[in-house]
Structure 1
Amino acid sequence: MDTEQEVKRATELIDQKLALEEERQKVCSCPPAQPPEVARLDTPLLEDEKKHGPANKGIEGLKGQERVRKSSVDLRREIIEVGGTQYLFELRKKPKKKKEEKKPEPEPEEITGPVTEEDFLRAAVHGKLHVVEKFLADGGSPDTCDEFRRTALHRVSLEGHTEIVEKLLAKGATVDFRDRLDSTAVHWACRGGHLDIVKLLQEKGADLNVKDKLLSTPLHVATRTGMIDIVEYLIDNGVDVNACDREGESALHDAVRLNRYKIIKMLIQHGANMLAKNMAGKTPVDLVQLWQADTREVLEKQEPNATEMPA
């Protein structure tokens, strides 16, 4: 079987697996059947009776003190019979509480003194734009970093504070500044799953094929964290789908190991090499055998009773 047929075969089987998983999710997401109305009824009388015994001993006597309640349904039905109905009528008469209006966010506190580097970096994490603006307005460097060489741009890219990313870039933050592990803001944005920030960074010249100390690219990071929209964006913008990390593994190796079915399909359709070997001499299909027997069935053979899916 040639490579083109292998790709087509793998794509068909992955489609098949996805369809089966979606069907399982639909079944799991069906709302459970509602129990009878009486079974779901609850009143303060029930709690009171649990603590102090029957509220109306006279009627209880008429019903027979020797009666054994077999279930909470019986107990609740009895409460209704001996006076709980009156409580329900009173409850209906009570006016419904109006939904509390969402209070507007408080105005940011006025900053009187200078902002320290530590406060600047902490403000970036928590999305406090006014603190970041004060630090920059006072001449602070947008590339200020901590002991791990993580800048404010790294932090806000992970947290998803788009407005602060725009402010930092406008003030000249180095878009491909590397932390101690050589990760850039693009790596952090992929880890956090923030496609809008990946786009902003690319517009400012960020390298989408940049590698960290483990030789992981943004595509590796987005694949490992399951960020399908970012994977698709990176591929559409021409990243190397067969780039390998320090272990010699491509994004396809990672996707197979982690059962990222949609990403597997996307990578194969865009030229990922199914026969590429890592440093241990294993291809993505070999990893299926080692890590996930279920995924191996998807790639190598059709499941019984499965519907044939288009390529």
Structure 2
Amino acid sequence: MNLRDAVNTDQYELVKSVLEKSSNLGQEELSLALAASVDCEDLRIMQLLIEHGADVNFIPPDCMPVLNWAVEQGRADVIRLLAENGANMNIQDNMGNTPLHIALDIEITSASEWSHLPEMEISRLLYDLQADPTVQDKEGISCIDMVRERSFPEALDLFLKRYPEHE
């Protein structure tokens, strides 16, 4: 069984066994397994992969960075674990979106679909972990621009406290 197949079982002991038996795993294989582990319930699997050399800032080919995937899945626990292990809170995907861009887009879209104010659970976590709302995507749009344009005053007020020069 290969490492990614083991990860997809969400069984810690199986992943541990595959890692112990495979001495020739490269960083790319470990990092691809790390990306797959975002969907695992057992966070020990992700920690084990990181301890074996998986890159928390890895961007799989034709895919989004591991942190961005965790944001898209709403995995606050995974976001914290990646941050504790040195994840870049401002890593960008091929469109230039940071994890904060993605979180805000999801929160704003969800709020408009359900006719309520956006909840800032994931975006606030990222911001508290030093995500920078001034980073621009490939279209030149920062998170401050996004929340201003999409009428999200709670987020705008929060961001402008740290970045008043963007008022």
Q: TM-score range by the shorter chain?
A: 0.7 to 0.9
Match for 1:155 among 28, 36, 39? 36
Change (3 A) 1:230 1:257: same
Residue 140 of structure 2 corresponds to residue 248 of structure 1: yes
Aligned to 1:230: 122
Is 1:168 the equivalent of 2:57? no
- Counterpart for residue 35 of structure 1: none
| Percent pairwise identity | 24
Answer yes or no: is 1:270 the counterpart of 2:163.
no
Which amino acid counterpart does residue 241 of structure 1 have in structure 2?
P
Deviation (angstroms), 1:188: 1.3
Name 1:136's counterpart in structure 2: 19
> How big is each residue's C-alpha offset from its partner over 1:177-204, in whole Å with a ceiling of 9 and x where there is no partner?
1112463221111111111211111111
Secondary structure in structure 2 of the residue aligned to 1:270 = helix
Residue number in structure 2 paired with 1:216:
97
Give aligned pairs, total. 152
Going from structure 1 to structure 2, the CA distance change for 1:192 and 1:258 (only over 3 Å counts) comes to farther
User: Quick one: structure 1 residues 266 and 159, their matched pair in 2 at CA, closer, same or farther if it must change by over 3 Å?
Assistant: farther
Q: Which 5+ residue runs of structure 2 have no aligned equivalent?
A: 108-118
- Contact residue 252 and residue 267 of structure 1 kept, 8 A: yes
Give the aligned CA root-mean-square deviation in angstroms.
2.9
Instruction: Report deviation, 1:142.
Output: 6.8
Alignment of 1:74-113 (within 5 A): none
Q: Distance in 2 between matches of 1:266 and 1:211?
A: 20
Q: Deviations over 1:21-72 (max 9, x none)?
A: xxxxxxxxxxxxxxxxxxxxxxxxxxxxxxxxxxxxxxxxxxxxxxxxxxxx
In the TM superposition, what is the alpha-carbon distance from 1:245 to its structure 2 partner?
Answer: 0.8
Give the aligned partner of residue 36 of structure 1: none
Distance in 1 separating the partners of 2:41 and 2:146: 24
4+ runs deviating over 4 angstroms: 252-259
Unaligned runs of 5+ in 1: 1-114, 277-311
The letter for the 1-side match of 2:137 is: D
Cα distance change on mapping 1:123 and 1:139 into 2, 3 Å: closer
Q: Describe the shift of the 1:183–1:150 C-alpha distance in structure 2 as closer, same or farther (beyond 3 A).
A: farther
Aligned ranges for residues 194-213 of structure 1 at < 5 Å? 194-213=75-94
In structure 2, the partner of 1:33 is none
What TM-score, normalized by structure 1, do the two folds share? 0.43
For 1:132 and 1:142, the matched residues in 2 are separated by 15
Give the Cα separation in 2 of the matches to 1:224 and 1:150.
Answer: 26
Structure 1 pair 123/254, CA: closer, same or farther in 2 (3 Å)?
farther
Q: Distance in 2 between matches of 1:213 and 1:237?
A: 22
| Counterpart contact for 1:156–1:165, Cα < 8 Å | yes
